[in-house]
Amino acid sequence: MSRIAYVNGRYLPAREANVNVEDRGYQFADGVYEVCEVRSGKLVDAPRHLARLQRSLRELRITQPMPLTALEVVLHETVRRNRVDYGLVYLQITRGVARRDHAFPQAAVRPSVVVTAKNLSYDKNQETAKKGIAVITTPENRWPRVDIKSVSLLPNVLAKQAARERGANEAWFVDTDGFVTEGSSSNAWIVTADGRVVTRMVDNHILSGITRAVLLEVIEALQLRLEERPFTVAEAQAAAEAFVTSASQLVMPVVKIDERTVGDGKPGSVSQRLREEFHRFAHLS
Amino acid sequence: MSRIAYVNGRYLPAREANVNVEDRGYQFADGVYEVCEVRSGKLVDAPRHLARLQRSLRELRITQPMPLTALEVVLHETVRRNRVDYGLVYLQITRGVARRDHAFPQAAVRPSVVVTAKNLSYDKNQETAKKGIAVITTPENRWPRVDIKSVSLLPNVLAKQAARERGANEAWFVDTDGFVTEGSSSNAWIVTADGRVVTRMVDNHILSGITRAVLLEVIEALQLRLEERPFTVAEAQAAAEAFVTSASQLVMPVVKIDERTVGDGKPGSVSQRLREEFHRFAHLS
């Protein structure tokens, strides 16, 4: 847990890091967030995360509480105060505190801003990547605006928990046409037998992942073939490789999908190479 | 706003009524709630609200934090401390505070319990009911488990705001088959030209409203004909009467649906009678 959290202008010890019970984030899931990787105490791809945050705010018409440059200062300061070398920084902005009413507050309300940061074990992450993870699949049951990175995450919570209970690390949502949309907290990818890297195109049914976007640049630089299109569970299970991307997992090989082994059951060479190359392309600030 | 709120065992002034920023209700919408009408300082249909709360908790596998009888004591005490005569009491329970991770916390975590209460103007509610309200319609875009009364309410927030911006009080969600599911914070009803009262049957696509359930008893006692089935927007617009039900609005006549006048544009006689009779059937405690 974050030892020091930024809450509406103040840096507070975790136990005092509180928001009001009538914060609309608490009563209505009326807020957005970003999770940014921290490496050597620096932010990975902060400008892209902040640009996406700005888009999420705009889509929900939540007032941007401060300039992005000021937000980046708060991210850095929270990382510094928590002495995070490798880990994550979390930023949440909600519509603010108001008397409970579904519609937006009619008087101007100041949005709530919360930032936390925590250390993670990079070695543990690397060890997991060496073995690869298992994923399960589950019917897509989220609303059709998951392109907005909102805290309305209850379906994601239940999917991730189902994965854990079946010995897997991630759950892939599958739409009514049988196509994988994305994971509960990651984007989904496969590599075909002839080396094409496939991931779903960006629309309202997936979040436009920052790690995903950077990886597209890596793929281009390595002159790999890319296809942005949906794929089915069966295609993924029969693929040469599969992996997921997210700020916390980076490029994480998938070796099992719903009890079916992918490839030879070990992380594939393309996935491993993309994982290794990723940080040459990521932006540190 | 509630002047005194119950938060995890303590009655606190509103400004000190806080929860931790890592409460899963704030970061994941991982919590449930109930809103109960207060009349003459008493709770309306508390046993039904608490039974539904218990079901919501069970569906999400959130530990019930205390016996229902103890929760009812907290509801009463919060009403008393806020000197609510006519108004609402709000109860929220989340999975608790834990280091951020989508899956359920692996160590046992104490659920968070928050209760607030506020006075409302009964006269204002009555005045609105005399004129009736306008509703708009909007495509159903919520997840398929709205039978769970969770705080994952972002689509409801956006729908209610859209209604307000179009001069209406409520938005009805319409499924892909063209049938009305329910309102953003109410159940939807119509009365046919030959006096049948129609409302959608209870399934995963609507919340099983307490006011709805009590009204079914009123309808039976008054020997009105009832049909529990879906209806389309066109059928509602052409109906003799329409209304919505909720703990805060009770039976509220609808006189306009998407710019089309319902009946003669005034609250219908069946709606008005049901509104008047409602409190003879509601349980006070």
Whole-number pLDDT of residue B1:
52
**For residue A46, what is the enclosing H or E element?**
helix A46-60
Dump pLDDT digits (tens) for A96-155: 999 999 999 998 899 999 999 999 999 999 999 999 999 999 999 999 999 999 999 999
Q: B23: which chain A residues are within 8 Å (Cβ-Cβ)?
A: 26
User: Which member of A90, A141, A153 has the closest CB to residue B29?
Assistant: A153
Q: A184: which chain B residues are within 8 Å (Cβ-Cβ)?
A: 102
Nearest chain B residue (CA) to A34: B27
Sign of CA dihedral A198, A204, A206, A209: positive
Whole-number pLDDT of residue A167:
97
First to last CA, chain A: 23
Picking from B211, B257, B262, the residue whose alpha carbon sits closest to that of residue B241 is B262
Q: pLDDT grade, residue B114 (50/70/90)?
A: very high
Q: A104: which chain B residues are within 8 Å (Cβ-Cβ)?
A: 157, 161, 164
Contact B191, B271 (CB under 8 A): yes
Task: Compute how many other C-beta atoms are within 10 angstroms of the C-beta atom of residue A186.
Answer: 27
Q: A163: which chain B residues are within 8 Å (Cβ-Cβ)?
A: 103
Structure tokens at A187: 């984007």
Phi, psi (rounded to 5 degrees) for B120: -125, 165
Residue type, A157: V
What is the b/e burial string over B30-58, where b = at least 16 CB atoms within 10 angstroms of the residue's CB? bbbbbbbbbbeebbbbbebbbebbeebbe
B151–A29 CB contact, under 8 Å: yes
Task: Compute how many other C-beta atoms are within 10 angstroms of the C-beta atom of residue B239.
Answer: 21
B143–A161 CB contact, under 8 Å: no
Count of pairs with CB atoms under 8 A, one residue in A, one in B: 153
User: Which member of B1, B19, B156 has the closest CB to residue A26?
Assistant: B19
Q: Is the pTM of this model over 0.80?
A: yes
A156–B5 CB contact, under 8 Å: no
A118–B141 CB contact, under 8 Å: no
User: Which member of B15, B19, B30 has the closest CB to residue A154?
Assistant: B30
Best residue of B26, B101, B184 to probe chain A, by most A CBs closer than 10 Å: B26
Phi, psi (rounded to 5 degrees) for A160: -65, -40
A17–B14 CB contact, under 8 Å: no
Q: Give the separation between CA B282 and CA B279, rounded to whole angstroms.
A: 5
A2–B15 CB contact, under 8 Å: no
State how far the alpha carbon of A50 is from the alpha carbons of A35, A45, A55, A133, B22, in Å. Answer: 10, 9, 9, 29, 21
Q: A21: which chain B residues are within 8 Å (Cβ-Cβ)?
A: 5, 7, 17-19, 92, 114, 116
Average pLDDT over residues A230-239: 98
Dump pLDDT digits (tens) for A185-215: 999 999 999 999 999 999 889 999 999 999 9
Whole-number pLDDT of residue A46:
97
Nearest chain B residue (CA) to A21: B18
Dump pLDDT digits (tens) for A11-68: 999 999 999 999 999 999 999 999 999 999 999 999 999 999 999 999 999 999 999 9
State how far the alpha carbon of B128 is from the alpha carbons of A114, A169, A174, A240, B251, in Å. Answer: 39, 52, 45, 64, 11
- pLDDT of A267 higher than 60: yes
Dump pLDDT digits (tens) for B156-172: 999 999 999 999 999 99
- Mutual angle of helices B210-221 and B46-60, in 10-degree steps: 130
Whole-number pLDDT of residue A66:
96
ipTM, 2 dp: 0.97
Structure tokens at B88: 């609402």
- Which residue numbers of A are catalytic? 149
Which DSSP state fits A106?
S
A157–B102 CB contact, under 8 Å: yes
Contact B61, B104 (CB under 8 A): yes
State how far the alpha carbon of B220 is from the alpha carbons of B208, B215, B284, in Å. Answer: 18, 9, 20
Three-class SS string for A237-283? Answer: HCCCEEEEEECCCEEEEEEEECCEECCCCCCCHHHHHHHHHHHHHCC
Contact A278, A65 (CB under 8 A): no
Sign of CA dihedral B77, B82, B87, B90: negative
A141–B144 CB contact, under 8 Å: yes
Q: Domains of chain B by range and CATH? A: 4-120 (3.30.470.10), 125-281 (3.20.10.10)
Q: Give the separation between CA B179 and CA B185, rounded to whole angstroms.
A: 17
Residue ranges of alpha helices (H) inside A112-259 are 122-131, 154-165, 210-221, 233-237
Q: Give the separation between CA B144 and CA B122, rounded to whole angstroms.
A: 34
Q: Give the separation between CA B41 and CA B284, rounded to whole angstroms.
A: 9
Average pLDDT over residues A247-257: 96
Whole-number pLDDT of residue B95:
98
Q: Which residue has the higher pLDDT, A46 or B203?
A: A46
Q: pLDDT grade, residue B94 (50/70/90)?
A: very high
Task: Compute how many other C-beta atoms are within 10 angstroms of the C-beta atom of residue B221.
Answer: 11
Whole-number pLDDT of residue A247:
92
Structure tokens at B143: 């997840």
First to last CA, chain B: 23
**For residue B6, what is the enclosing H or E element?**
strand B4-7
User: Which member of B30, B118, B157 has the closest CB to residue A157?
Assistant: B30
Q: Residue written as tokens 């590599």?
A: A191
Kindly state the percentage of chain A with pLDDT values over 90: 96
- pLDDT of A2 higher than 80: no
Burial (CB count <10 Å: 0-12, 13-18, 19+), residue A259 = exposed
Nearest chain B residue (CA) to A163: B103
Whole-number pLDDT of residue B215:
96
Dump pLDDT digits (tens) for B14-24: 999 999 999 99
Q: pLDDT grade, residue B282 (50/70/90)?
A: confident
Picking from A22, A34, A18, the residue whose alpha carbon sits closest to that of residue A109 is A22
Whole-number pLDDT of residue B279:
85
Q: Residue written as tokens 């219908």?
A: B268
Cα angle at B235 between B230 and B238, to 5 degrees? 150
